[in-house]
Amino acid sequence: MRITPSARTRFITVSLVAGLAASLTACGSLGGGGDDSGDDDATAEGDGVISFMHYYGEPHNVPLEAALDEFAAANDVEIDVRHVPFPDFNRTLQQAAAADELPDIALINAFDTQQMAEAEIIQDLSDRVEEWGEQDAYYPTSWQTTQVDGATYGIPHVADDYAVYYNADLLAAAGVEPPQTWEDMEEAAAALSQNGAKYGLAVSGREGAEGATGILLRALAAGGDLETFGDEAGVEALESFGRMVENGGLSEGFLTWSEDDAKNHFATGQAAMMINSATYVNILREEVPDLNWDVAPIPTDQTSRTFLSAENLTITEGSGDEDLAWDLITYLQQPDVLETYLPARNKLPARNDVPGAVEDPIRKKFADQLENAWAPEGQVATNSEEMLVLVQEALQATISGSASAADAAATAQVRIDEALAGS
């Protein structure tokens, strides 16, 4: 469906579900990669229509579509927006490539960049980036996610990372300071669970990759890595979370909690602290405007590392209008555009020259951590979701008592090595 500048505000994104391949064929081209024999299809010369595929559901799509609308109006072009739910996104993009139905632009998970580049779904943008000359404005970890074998395959779109949210009133009542080290965290969580809060700490531990974030942050602080989770740092991380469950600072029920669940426990005052991303800054302000809270950096052990969550803007190999697609991507990364877009999107800039987007002191604390953020690279990035699932399984085994921390970490390492060997 093509959206004119005047009509885009009335456009409702649609989700693709089972039977996608058939629906793609029935509905025609996504815009840039279809058969160029028809007058309405994009050609190698371009036809002024940009097809844009993303996975932002409501309400996150609203600021994105507003920015796209502004570009469309200013440049007298049409933007064909297609929403695909995140769990279906990569499969959909791969099917679109097989059907020669790729969009011009795909907004992808940053850690999938290598996979998409190796599958020849997205283009090498190195020459364009070299001419553009703004790559040095990006945080190093954010920029690294765009690199595959020394070439640039995307431009960072937004960034997010994790910090410790804390209820200032509950901490003050218990005489507890925001934890600076993981030893502090264990002690603070225990004290807070006995002084005004049901749980000292809330964090997602549920089945799947999401539930591995907290334990990975603990392993990173101990000097570890996702690729080597079975080493001493991974064991220490598992033992640390085990101690917090034993001392009451962390509910064993966290193994079923999503990040939204952790937010709910924090917002209602049941949890005095939570580990979560900058995504929840606006949400807390809107849902519980009277809650007195602040954030602190991820605690330190040998080091302090936060976990980067990011997305990249890419031009696909099926694009029929690469120059216009590039113009749209670079427009979305202009600092003045980001200063408006990012607060509404509830995310952080991937580049360090957008002060207006982090004037908020809370957001600045998240942004300051981006200088030292961790993100998987290479084959670890390609296999990161599977590897994070294995880490969560090690956490589950440790907390449930079905395996010791050492045995659970060792089992995870064997399977992590297998995943990397098979990639």
Give the chain's domain count.
2
Range of the domain at 142: 8-160+309-372
Instruction: Clarify whether residues 79 and 181 are in a common domain.
Output: no
Question: DSSP for 218-265?
Answer: HHHHTT--STTTTSHHHHHHHHHHHHHHHTTSB-GGGGG--HHHHHHH
Q: What is the pLDDT of residues 280-310, one digit of tens each?
A: 999 999 999 999 999 999 999 999 899 999 9
Range 13-42 average pLDDT: 33
**How many residues are given for the chain?**
423
Identify the CA nearest to 310 among candidates 373, 383, 378: 373
Half-sphere exposure in the Cβ direction for 269 (13 Å, CA): 10
Instruction: Clarify whether residues 126 and 61 are in a common domain.
Output: yes
Instruction: Clarify whether residues 171 and 264 are in a common domain.
Output: yes
Q: Which helix (H) or strand (E) holds 362?
A: helix 361-369
| Domain assignment present for 1 | no
What pTM did the predictor assign? 0.84
| Domain assignment present for 2 | no
Report whether pLDDT(132) > 70. yes
Instruction: Clarify whether residues 156 and 189 are in a common domain.
Output: no
Contacts of residue 147, defined as CB under 8 A and 6 or more positions apart, other chains included, come to: 153
| The token pair that represents 55 in the structure block | 């996975």
Q: What is the pLDDT of residues 184-243, one digit of tens each?
A: 999 999 999 998 889 999 999 999 999 999 999 999 999 999 999 999 999 999 999 999
For the domain that residue 226 is a member of, what is the CATH number? 3.40.190.10
Tell the burial category of 36 from Cβ atoms under 10 Å away from its Cβ (0-12, 13-18, 19+): middle
Instruction: Clarify whether residues 355 and 389 are in a common domain.
Output: no
pLDDT category of residue 182 using cuts at 50, 70 and 90 = very high
Range 111-120 average pLDDT: 95
